[in-house]
Structure 1
Amino acid sequence: MICRIWHGRTSRERADEYAIFLKDRAISDYRSVSGNIDVAILRRDDGDVSHFLTVTHWSSEEAIRAFAGDDILSAKYYPEDSGFLLEFEPEVQHFDVVAEQASH
């Protein structure tokens, strides 16, 4: 399993609205791709800026490619992001999941 992590920053004043956008638009996009295992969106407020991490788990690189395109380390952005984000980080991070425990 592969963990894919994207980071973005927005102004604190737009953070609530961006969180709703991510919940409504991004989660359904990730979940629509075969091989996506789960999605979590994290937020941390820091002064006038809010940081967002989108943490997803994937069954394989092929599944990530179906979501992100051939360059699987490239960040995927939505047109609406330009109204929220302070910059566009070009890449995401991938980690191999070497241990996990799911709660039931």
Structure 2
Amino acid sequence: MPTKPTIARVWRGRTRRDLADAYQAYLQAEGIPPLRKTALGVQQLREDRDEETWFTTISYWADIAAMTAFTKGEPTKVHHLARDAEFLIELPERIEIHRILIDEQGLR
């Protein structure tokens, strides 16, 4: 039986609309692959607003220990990608860590 996640790690960042497509490609090439290899699952969300675009990355983990191993012992520290400062309006200062209370997937 597959392991079910108990922890969701949430990162949010925003960029100018004119940089959004380039940042999305960069984030998918550099930020998402390590999560795909290690996390139980990953989602990337995009919200286009008038002047800026928000990206949210959610990774799912079996437990705090698994997530802590991935983050090299610092689960709440933001690990910026090399070009984040070039793309992002401001560098995010925090990561959200949530316990998953209900996990129902699928559309009805």
Q: Which residue of 2 aligns with 1:21?
A: 26
Please report how far the alpha carbon of residue 16 of structure 1 lies from its aligned counterpart in structure 2 after TM superposition.
0.5
Matched, 1:45 2:67: no
Asked whether 1:5 is paired with 2:10, we answer: yes
Q: Name the aligned partner's letter for residue 77 of structure 1.
A: H
Misfit runs of 4+, over 2 Å: none
Deviations 1:15-46 (A, max 9, x none): 0011111112211111222xx11111101111
Structural RMSD (CA)? 1.5
Structure 1 residues not aligned, in runs of 5+: none
Q: Does 1:59 align with 2:62?
A: yes
Where in structure 2 are there 5+ consecutive unaligned residues? 1-5
Q: Distance in 1 between matches of 2:10 and 2:95?
A: 6
Alignment identity in percent? 27
Provide the residue aligned with 2:104 in structure 1. Answer: 101
Give the alignment's TM-score, normalised by structure 2: 0.86
Distance 1:30 1:4 in 2: 11
Q: Which has the larger radius of gyration?
A: 2
Deviations 1:36-93 (A, max 9, x none): 1111110111111110100111111122112223221111211111211111122111
Give TM-score scaled by structure 1 length.
0.89
